[in-house]
């Protein structure tokens, strides 16, 4: 079992982090960090997942190359510019790693490189080169918060978590930061997620664990149906906890997997709740399904529906939109068996039984749907499998934010 602790990406032994303002985006506030650096005392086993968007930003290709040997020492990341689909993108991504190496005494290939922000504009690499010496000087055990804010773009709150758990009689710590608010419909992870751990684990086991967990967490988030060009989820493990090496899918692997899933699930929910302009987190849980895959497809269709999202914004118990979204999900189910209920801290109300609408108290339904988190509970009554996906409501502010995001 795990316990939540403080520290973020610096909770694990041997990791330091920093975040500074370097002016990546012209005219950006000097109070907003836009350059993050994370570094381990020892070489780390590394694994990553990336966007499935056919259009990929240059930092992803550089990171893929650097992680080909399954190891890394640190992460350098900027906000304010995606370094995607622009002149000198690959050269600038490589220069970021070279500059990080120079100020830390490492090699360029030791670094994961990540960027987030506007697509299509040439990266201000000079600002990053000038800022990295300050970032390196600021590296410390309390730097997770600064790094977490440095990777934020339209995020309104930082996403940061850490846990401790025991493996083979040794305390292991796992921490993470993430960013994501808009352009979220992942086919790997989220826009950016960085995880650090002091667990001793082989690269094969680490990669298997990350891919398994990402499929059940980050890949079940949708804010607006847009898969980013820059999505990346990376985990670094330096082995400094001194636990017995995880090299098989044994009991220790399962404990590690559970802790990793807890961390990624918390970040996923945080990203969905912070969707651009969002006023509430919308969770859809589908149970009684024939398979977990079909339950996931149905749940994601519901939280991804613009009409469902708009109804949630208006606290309107328009359950027909839920059933409609399920119907075009291409997942098999029998509509005549479906029950739908809305649930929150204010209570629960059943609005559909066996595919037919029920009379219900509209005032009670509105009170339930007006809470910070709303759960759409669907029971298919067809099997034993279930899945949960996360999204948010669709507000006027989403259009305002994205109407002039570039300018």
**Over the stretch 348-395, which tens digit does the pLDDT of each residue have?**
999 999 999 999 999 999 999 999 999 999 999 999 999 999 999 887
22: left (phi over 0), alpha (psi -120 to 50) or beta: alpha
How confident is the model over 179-188, as a mean pLDDT? 58
Supply the pLDDT for residue 188. 38
* pLDDT tier for residue 228 given thresholds of 50, 70 and 90: low
Q: What is the pLDDT of residues 97-139, one digit of tens each?
A: 999 999 999 999 999 999 998 889 999 999 999 999 999 999 9
Q: Which of 5-14, 32-41, 51-60, 94-103 has the lowest mean pLDDT?
A: 51-60
Counting every residue, how long is the chain?
Answer: 407
pLDDT the model gives residue 274: 81
- Average pLDDT (11-32) is 94
The whole-number pLDDT of residue 397 equals 75
Q: CA Rg, the chain, in Å?
A: 22
Per-residue pLDDT at 189 exceeds 50: no
Is 190 designated active site? yes
Same domain, 86 and 224: yes
- How far is it, in rounded angstroms, from Cα 24 to Cα 21? 8
Q: In the chain, how many domains are there? A: 2
- The model's pLDDT over 53-78, given as tens digits with 9 standing for 90+, comes to 888 899 999 999 999 999 999 999 99
* Together in a domain, 117 and 41: yes
Region of poorest pLDDT, from 66-75, 161-170, 267-276, 397-406: 397-406
Domain final residue, candidates 221, 255, 273 = 273
Same domain for 117 and 214? yes
Per-residue H/E/C for 299-317? HHHHHHCHHHHHHHHCCCC
Give 69: exposed, middle or buried? Use CB within 10 Å, 0-12, 13-18, 19+. exposed
Cα gap 284→305, rounded to integer Å: 11
Q: Beta strands 347-353 and 339-344: pairing type?
A: antiparallel
Helix, strand, coil fractions of the chain, as percent rounded to 5? 35, 30, 35
Q: Where does a domain end: 243, 273, 303?
A: 273
CATH number at residue 134: 3.60.70.12
Same domain? For 87 and 175 the reply is: yes
Q: What is the mean pLDDT of residues 288-293?
A: 97
Number of H helices, E strands in the chain: 11, 15
Do 326 and 218 share a structural domain? no
269 with 285, same domain: the answer is: no
Per-residue pLDDT of 311-349, as tens digits, reads 999 999 999 999 999 999 999 999 999 999 999 999 999
Question: Looking at the structure, do residues 304 and 341 belong to the same domain, yes or no?
Answer: yes
Question: 190, 196, 217, 222: which is the annotated catalytic residue?
Answer: 190
CATH code of 396's domain = 3.10.20.340
pLDDT value at residue 190 = 44
Domain around 119: 3-273
Predicted confidence (pLDDT) at residue 303 exceeds the cutoff of 80: yes
Selected residue with higher pLDDT from 180 and 37: 37
Q: What are phi and psi of 73, to 5 degrees?
A: -115, -25
Residues 287 and 253 in one domain: no
Tokens, residue 102: 């120079």
Q: Which residue has the tokens 């990350």?
A: 210
Measured between alpha carbons, how far is 165 from 161 in angstroms, rounded to an integer?
Answer: 14
232 shares its domain with 287:
no
Same domain, 246 and 327: no
Q: Among 273, 295, 327, which residue terminates a domain?
A: 273
Whether residue 172 sits in one domain with residue 99: yes
Q: What is the average pLDDT value for the chain, to the nearest integer?
A: 93
Is the pLDDT higher at 163 or at 401?
Answer: 163
Mean pLDDT for 181-196 is: 65
Q: How far apart are CA 316 and CA 314, in angstroms?
A: 5
Give the pLDDT score at 357: 96
Specify whether 261 is located in the same domain as 393: no
Inter-residue contact 239 to 198 (CB < 8 Å):
yes
Q: What is the pLDDT of residues 258-270, one digit of tens each?
A: 999 999 999 999 9
């Amino acid at each position: 079992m795990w316990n939540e602790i403080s520290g973020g990406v610096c909770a694990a032994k041997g990791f330091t982090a920093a975040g500074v303002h370097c002016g990546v985006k012209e005219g950006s506030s000097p109070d907003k960090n836009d350059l993050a650096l994370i570094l381990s005392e020892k070489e780390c086993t590394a694994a990553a997942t990336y966007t499935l968007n056919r259009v990929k930003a240059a930092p992803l290709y550089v990171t893929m190359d650097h992680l080909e040997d399954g190891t890394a020492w640190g992460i350098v990341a900027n906000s304010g510019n995606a370094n995607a689909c622009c002149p000198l993108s690959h050269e600038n991504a490589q220069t970021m790693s070279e500059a990080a190496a120079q100020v830390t005494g490492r090699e360029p290939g030791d670094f994961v490189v990540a960027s987030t922000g506007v697509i299509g504009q040439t990266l201000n690499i000079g600002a990053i080169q000038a800022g990295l010496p300050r970032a390196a000087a600021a590296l410390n055990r309390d730097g997770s918060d600064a790094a977490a804010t440095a990777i934020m773009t339209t995020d309104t709150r930082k996403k940061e978590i850490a846990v401790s758990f025991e493996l083979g009689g040794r305390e292991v710590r796992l921490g993470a930061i993430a960013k994501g608010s808009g352009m979220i419909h992942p086919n790997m992870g989220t826009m950016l997620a960085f995880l650090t751990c002091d667990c001793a684990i082989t690269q094969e086991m680490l990669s298997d664990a990350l891919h398994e967990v990402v499929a059940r967490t980050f890949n079940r988030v949708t804010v607006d149906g847009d898969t980013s060009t820059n999505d990346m989820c990376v985990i670094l493990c330096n082995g400094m906890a001194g636990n017995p090496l995880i090299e098989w899918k044994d009991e220790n692997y399962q404990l590690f997997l559970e802790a990793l899933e807890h961390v990624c699930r918390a970040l996923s929910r945080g990203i969905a709740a912070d969707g651009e302009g969002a006023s509430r987190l919308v969770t859809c849980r589908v149970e009684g399904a024939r398979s977990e895959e079909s339950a996931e497809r149905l749940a994601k269709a519901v939280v991804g529906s613009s009409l469902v999202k708009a109804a949630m914004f208006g606290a309107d118990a328009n359950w027909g939109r839920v059933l409609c979204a399920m119907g075009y999900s291409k997942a098999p189910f029998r509509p005549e068996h479906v029950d739908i209920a809305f649930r929150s801290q204010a209570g629960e109300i059943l609005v559909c039984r066996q595919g037919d609408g029920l009379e219900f108290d509209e005032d009670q339904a509105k009170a339930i749907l007006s809470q910070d988190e709303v759960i759409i509970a669907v029971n298919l009554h067809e099997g034993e499998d279930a899945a949960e996906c996360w999204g948010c409501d669709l507000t006027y502010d989403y259009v305002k934010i994205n109407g002039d995001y570039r300018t």
